[in-house]
Amino acid sequence: MKKILLLGDSIRIGYDKSVRLSLEGVAEVVFPEENCRFASYLLRYFHEYLNTLAHGKADIICWNAGLWDCLRLFEEEPHTPVEHYTFMIERICRRIKKLCPDARVIFSTSTTVQSEKMDKDFKRYNEEIAAYNEAALSVVKQYGFEVCDLFTVSQGLSDAAHSDPVHYYTPEGTEAFTKALLSHLAPILGEKEILYREVIHVKAPVGI
* Per-residue pLDDT reduced to its tens digit, 14-52: 999 999 999 999 999 999 999 999 999 999 999 999 999
* Listed residue (99, 93, 98) closest to 63, CA to CA: 93
* CATH classification of the domain holding 160: 3.40.50.1110
Whole domain around residue 82: which residue ranges? 2-188
For residue 118, tell me if it sits in a domain: yes
Q: Answer whether residue 208 shows pLDDT above 80.
A: no
The C-alpha atoms of residue 48 and residue 179 are separated, in whole angstroms, by 28
Number of domains comprising the chain = 1
* Per-residue pLDDT reduced to its tens digit, 83-119: 999 999 999 999 999 999 999 999 999 999 999 999 9
* Per-residue pLDDT reduced to its tens digit, 129-167: 999 999 999 999 999 999 999 999 999 999 999 999 999
For residue 181, tell me if it sits in a domain: yes
State if pTM tops 0.75: yes
For residue 200, tell me if it sits in a domain: no
Q: Answer whether residue 55 shows pLDDT above 80.
A: yes
The strand pairing partners of 3, in sequence order, are 28
- What radius of gyration do the chain's Cα atoms show? 16
For residue 194, tell me if it sits in a domain: no
For residue 62, tell me if it sits in a domain: yes
Angle between helix axes 39-50 and 82-99 (nearest 10 degrees) is 10
